[in-house]
Structure 1
Amino acid sequence: MRRVLSFSYYNLPSHLKTCLLYLCIYPEDSTIDRDRLIWKWVAEGFVHHGDQGTSLFLLGLNYFNQLVNRSMIQPIYDRLGQVYACRVHDMVLDLICNLSHEAKFVNVLDGTGDSMSFQGNVRRLSLQDRNKDHQGTPLRNFTGISRVRSITIFTSAINIMPALSRFEVLRVLDLSYCNLGKSSSLQLNLKGVGHLVHLRYLGLAGTGIRELPAEIGNLQLLEVLDLKSNELQELPPAVGKLRRLIYLNVYLNKVVPTPGVLQNLTSIEVLMGLLVSVNIIARELGNLARMRLLLIHFKDGSLDLYESFVKSLGNLLHIESLYINCGSGETSFELMDLLGECWMPPVHLRKFVSWMPSQLSALRGWIIRDPSHLSNLFELILSSVKEVQQQDVQIIGGLLSLRLLWIQTTHQTQRLLVIGADGFRRMVEFRLDCGSAAQIKFEPGALPRAEVVAFSLGVRVAKEDGNRGFDLGLQGNLLSLQGRVRVYMYCGGARVGEAKEAEAAVRHTLKARPNHPPVHIEMKPRIAEVLMMTICVRTRRTDF
């Protein structure tokens, strides 16, 4: 087997050999995040431009897929069948670690006594110190640290990290999920980061930092800045000097950018987690014409702010994934109305996620004007839609690339929605919650590939409209179910007996299915609450 693996390795193109060898920085049995790995390849200089218009990340993605296709790495899939990570087989890892050792490509310190030698020219370090009591003597005595180009530190090894001032040509510094916060006993801080003028990748996700030093503006070559899951509240003006920045992630922080910062980051392709509260910041987004992925939070909503955002969105012609959230408690449908009237999604759009009040009139407008603009839409989440009409179901069902749909309505008026057999042919995950005002029925052959399904049932509406047996068309349908079926059963206005009857009918139908999917019926309100409401109503009727 080793000969076969060696043969496969030596048949790789040189750029794929380099990318594969890099995987020995990860400990055995690691789940390796695909995107994070590709950005590291980019920062290391392993990914080379085919032409000036091609995204380095997309080229790196092609490298990753080639390694998967050649069975050199094992892909890990999400629930929609998309690769999000990989693993390296033990035998492949053993091979590349030996090859890396011979070529002095990566040096690993794992604290087990089997660490690779630190003698000679060390270019890349992986600190995996499994022995948490290890005192780090090898690094204190190691004189070649100044020539290290890349260092990746795993959480248990952070205490043997040398001072940043000792590095002179560092391109990659990954401290992700190491404790650098106030509770850390670590003496390391980021005050020396401005010295690392060759740095391309700075990974500080989940480190507990609360602010960035102003000297981060010295990192003129920085391409990737990962700050997610920290306690940051602002991006200092110095970040605006990072004109080569391609990736900026401040997700799960409460970061408000200083006005003027974004307008200079014209190389940005991925921007995640910014909190937008003023028009000037929304307008600056329009300068980021290379954007492929945007995740944005609105602190509160105003028509002027939304107009500025939609106008900027019109300049982002390469957008593939758009996530919009609003922290305001007010119900306003203005943004989606503006999107429907003033913005036409580019044909590249694959994901559209809105966690704020929205209208489906926008979607209708896009389809009517040019259906091809949504031909690649893969994921659609609208968490607070005013209502869904049968026309909307037919329109969405006709989106041939759609794999995930999640819609929740707030003011439903149409009492019956039918999921036909001619739509949603490739849907993998289907969630439609129309509250208490509607029932959802499935025609024979509906959702042929759906593995996860969630839908609502208004018990009172079903009874009033003659569906006394609560037949939702589930018999003989949904043959690909693998995950849990979730039913949101709205019992408001129904009697306790009707609620129990509806639950029993739906559960019986689903339990009889050949694939026996797990069933979760969520009563809203619960039976006990329905019983209490019934008693209260009867009491009021007899109360003189």
Structure 2
Amino acid sequence: MLKTCLSYCCMYRDGYLFERKDIFTRWASEGFVCKEEEANSHFEELVNRGWILSSPHDGLAIHPMMRIFLRQDKFITYSSQVTSSYNTSRIRRLCIDNSPCISGDAAAAADPLSALDWNRIRSLVFLSGEGIERVPFEKLEGLRALDISQMLVHDHHLKNICGLVRLRHLFGLNVRLIGEIPPEIVRLQCLESFQASAIGEISPDVLNLSQLKTLEVDGSWKELPREIGALQQLETLRLKSSGITKLPREVWSLQQLKILDISNTMIRVLPKEIAELQQLRTLDISNTEIKALPKEMEKLQHLEHLFMSETKVAKIPRALKLKEVKSLELDYGIAALPLEFFALVELPECIHHALEKSDLFPDVVGEMVSFKNSPRRGGEGGLVVGAKHMSIPLWIREHFNDLAMLDIRICKLDEQGLKILREMPRLEDLTLRLDVVPREPAVITSGGFPKLWNLTVDSRVPRVTFQEGAMPKLQFLTFEFQFYAGPPNEDPVGIKHLESIHLIAFKCNEDWYGPGGDSPCIRSTIDVVRKEALENLKRIHLDICGRTERLNPY
């Protein structure tokens, strides 16, 4: 079967790049595979052997030498190969390629294709649009699979196709040159796969094809008809590159659905009703406006593949324990990733080394530990410790001393915690979230922090003081005010001692403080920082809740 699957890939012409999902669908249509897992297994084996090659242009191609070898088996027949001496009775899979176009009565009589027993053809692929006029559609009574992805279809072509009442799989229908899909499409009641592009609107007639298992459409349409709920046999639904903003509730009644692809759409919300799709294996929400994953997704016990690159999703909920997930695709828009998903993504080197330590997990069991990507200056990412600690825990030093980035919530920053942070040799980005207002300022002395260039202090009252020589590489300092900050604080901050400082930012929760952070507690800190920044004599920028001012321009 491995050779059979590879032989089918020879259908594509030299230099043509095909997609993984397309070849899986076609293997299934021919009966080579029954399940996606089986198709994936065959595919990985073909790639590992070097018979299918990955292209730098995000496509796949069959190895040229393997193509030459397999074409000798005549698993697929090309119209350019058919001669008057060719044994046409053996042809089951036919590709109409760039063979010379024959016209005229005398020439037609000499056309080798005219001698074909078209009733025996089970699979027909057009690699050239010109050859469609040579095909007698009325004789294709036994046709099961038709691939017209390499040609533009006109109205009269589609009407001919609608007469193929035994057709089960229709691939690559491009309706750019068609006013609309004719109502005659309902004649294809055996159709199990329907793949079309450039659709202005989905015709309700298509949704009357009750045997459909695969529906793949993309185009400029704005709404998915509610009649979609009638397709109770549907297993794959791909709605790429459309203007739809939401899915009708009838989608959640499709209990056989295994693949849902809504990538490149205008959908903004993934509703909690998605949990009703109990058979769902693959979910693709890439390049959408979706901002959050509903916690109800934890009920999707069979979900294996989750694709969510180029979305607005900031984090994966900790309650989302998808035990069966085997592949997870995301990007730097994801702020945090639970420990359970670490094995599914490419980890920063510092995290990867820590996880290799056999004694790590007993220390962090029960911790709210997440991996975080860093979009700043090509940073490699680091660790988010969501659970509240009294101070910096010792297991940070023992297991994650090589972190490049750390985001941690603590009650106090004592000398022992500062020592742990100070001695981390690769720490570049540090966020300290202080849940308790310090009684005394945390004093940052000289020495240590050899690479730290970004520091964020999230505290109701940011009581921190920098002494001479402290954090010599620090360029960006941020004070975050998330909750009520308490009385005004006029403690010295020591900005004049920061040798490399470039930007000092103040961010506040506008629900508490109003626009611009107009609160006495924030204003007092800003006044202290501004005064000290003027003493620094460096060109420093202040960002006050989104408004920027430049100090010491000369």
State whether residues 95 and 126 of structure 2, in contact with CA within 8 Å, keep that contact through their aligned partners in structure 1.
yes
Does the C-alpha gap of structure 1 residues 254 and 187 become closer, same or farther in structure 2, counting only changes over 3 Å? closer
Does the C-alpha gap of structure 1 residues 347 and 136 become closer, same or farther in structure 2, counting only changes over 3 Å? closer
State whether residues 347 and 374 of structure 1, in contact with CA within 8 Å, keep that contact through their aligned partners in structure 2.
no
Partner Cα distance (2:7, 2:97) in 1: 17
Higher-RCO chain (CA-CA 8 Å, sequence separation at least 6): 1
2:163 counterpart of 1:166: yes
State whether residues 189 and 210 of structure 2, in contact with CA within 8 Å, keep that contact through their aligned partners in structure 1.
yes
Does the C-alpha gap of structure 1 residues 39 and 459 become closer, same or farther in structure 2, counting only changes over 3 Å? same
State whether residues 147 and 168 of structure 1, in contact with CA within 8 Å, keep that contact through their aligned partners in structure 2.
no
Does the C-alpha gap of structure 1 residues 258 and 58 become closer, same or farther in structure 2, counting only changes over 3 Å? same
2:111 counterpart of 1:144: no
Equivalent residue runs for 1:335-346 within 5 Å: 336=316, 339-340=317-318, 342-346=319-323
Q: Name whichever structure is richer in helix by fraction.
A: 1
Partner Cα distance (2:229, 2:240) in 1: 18
State whether residues 192 and 213 of structure 2, in contact with CA within 8 Å, keep that contact through their aligned partners in structure 1.
yes
Equivalent residue runs for 1:400-439 within 5 Å: 406-408=373-375
SS at match of 2:207: helix
Equivalent residue runs for 1:208-223 within 5 Å: 208-223=198-213
1:173 shift after superposition: 1.2
SS at match of 1:166: coil
Partner Cα distance (1:416, 1:263) in 2: 36
Partner Cα distance (1:136, 1:416) in 2: 59
Partner Cα distance (2:157, 2:341) in 1: 48
Instruction: State the partner residue of 2:344.
Output: 377
Instruction: State the partner residue of 2:489.
Output: none
Does the C-alpha gap of structure 1 residues 531 and 69 become closer, same or farther in structure 2, counting only changes over 3 Å? closer
Does the C-alpha gap of structure 1 residues 22 and 468 become closer, same or farther in structure 2, counting only changes over 3 Å? closer
Instruction: Give the letter aligned to residue 300 of structure 2.
Output: L
Q: Cα deviation per residue 1:79-127 (whole Å; 9 max; x = unaligned)?
A: 9xxx973424255356437343363132121232299836112211111
Q: Cα deviation per residue 1:294-342 (whole Å; 9 max; x = unaligned)?
A: 23387676xxx96xx212x0111222333458988xxx97x75xx12x3
2:306 counterpart of 1:322: yes
Instruction: State the partner residue of 1:62.
Output: 41
Aligned partner of 1:198 among 190, 196, 201: 190
**Percent of aligned positions with the same letter in both sequences?**
17
1:169 shift after superposition: 1.3
Equivalent residue runs for 1:93-172 within 5 Å: 93=68, 95-96=70-71, 98-101=74-77, 103-113=90-100, 117=113, 119-120=116-117, 121-129=120-128, 134=130, 136-139=132-135, 141-156=136-151, 158-159=153-154, 161-163=157-159, 164-172=161-169
Q: Cα deviation per residue 1:223-262 (whole Å; 9 max; x = unaligned)?
A: 222224x212222122222222222222332324553322
1:192 shift after superposition: 3.3
State whether residues 235 and 256 of structure 1, in contact with CA within 8 Å, keep that contact through their aligned partners in structure 2.
no
Partner Cα distance (1:195, 1:170) in 2: 10
Aligned partner of 1:259 among 208, 233, 248: 248
Q: Cα deviation per residue 1:382-437 (whole Å; 9 max; x = unaligned)?
A: xxxxxxxxxx996576456xxx9843379x9x9999x9998899xxxx99899xxx
Aligned partner of 1:76 among 54, 57, 66: 54
Aligned partner of 1:42 among 28, 35, 53: 28
Partner Cα distance (2:145, 2:93) in 1: 9
SS at match of 1:213: coil
Does the C-alpha gap of structure 1 residues 327 and 161 become closer, same or farther in structure 2, counting only changes over 3 Å? same
State whether residues 25 and 152 of structure 1, in contact with CA within 8 Å, keep that contact through their aligned partners in structure 2.
no
Instruction: State the partner residue of 1:9.
Output: none
Does the C-alpha gap of structure 1 residues 107 and 320 become closer, same or farther in structure 2, counting only changes over 3 Å? same
Partner Cα distance (1:155, 1:491) in 2: 58
State whether residues 453 and 474 of structure 2, in contact with CA within 8 Å, keep that contact through their aligned partners in structure 1.
no
Normalised TM-score (structure 1):
0.57
Instruction: Give the letter aligned to residue 466 of structure 1.
Output: P
Partner Cα distance (1:23, 1:354) in 2: 31
Equivalent residue runs for 1:429-508 within 5 Å: 442=426, 458=453, 465-467=471-473, 492-493=502-503
SS at match of 1:289: coil
User: Which shows bigger deviation, 35-44 or 292-301?
Assistant: 292-301
Instruction: State the partner residue of 1:351.
Output: 328
Does the C-alpha gap of structure 1 residues 111 and 351 become closer, same or farther in structure 2, counting only changes over 3 Å? same
1:144 shift after superposition: 1.8
State whether residues 202 and 226 of structure 1, in contact with CA within 8 Å, keep that contact through their aligned partners in structure 2.
yes
Equivalent residue runs for 1:219-368 within 5 Å: 219-228=209-218, 230-273=219-262, 282-296=271-285, 309-311=294-296, 313-324=297-308, 336=316, 339-340=317-318, 342-351=319-328, 353=330, 358=335, 360=336, 363=338, 367=339
Instruction: Give the letter aligned to residue 76 of structure 2.
Output: S
State whether residues 249 and 272 of structure 1, in contact with CA within 8 Å, keep that contact through their aligned partners in structure 2.
yes
SS at match of 1:208: strand
* CA-based RMSD: 5.1
Partner Cα distance (1:86, 1:464) in 2: 56
Q: Cα deviation per residue 1:363-399 (whole Å; 9 max; x = unaligned)?
A: 2xxx3xxxxx33631357xxxxxxxxxxx99657645
Q: Cα deviation per residue 1:482-533 (whole Å; 9 max; x = unaligned)?
A: xxxxxxxx99549xxxxxxxxxxxxxxxxxxxxxxxxxxxxxxxxxxx8999
Instruction: State the partner residue of 1:85.
Output: 60
State whether residues 454 and 474 of structure 2, in contact with CA within 8 Å, keep that contact through their aligned partners in structure 1.
no
Which structure would you say has the larger Rg? 2
Q: Cα deviation per residue 1:176-225 (whole Å; 9 max; x = unaligned)?
A: 6x4x23xx3x4673543332222222222xx3212111122222232222
Q: Cα deviation per residue 1:346-379 (whole Å; 9 max; x = unaligned)?
A: 1534315377675x3x62xxx3xxxxx3363135
1:38 shift after superposition: 0.9
State whether residues 295 and 320 of structure 2, in contact with CA within 8 Å, keep that contact through their aligned partners in structure 1.
yes
SS at match of 1:193: helix
Does the C-alpha gap of structure 1 residues 343 and 416 become closer, same or farther in structure 2, counting only changes over 3 Å? closer
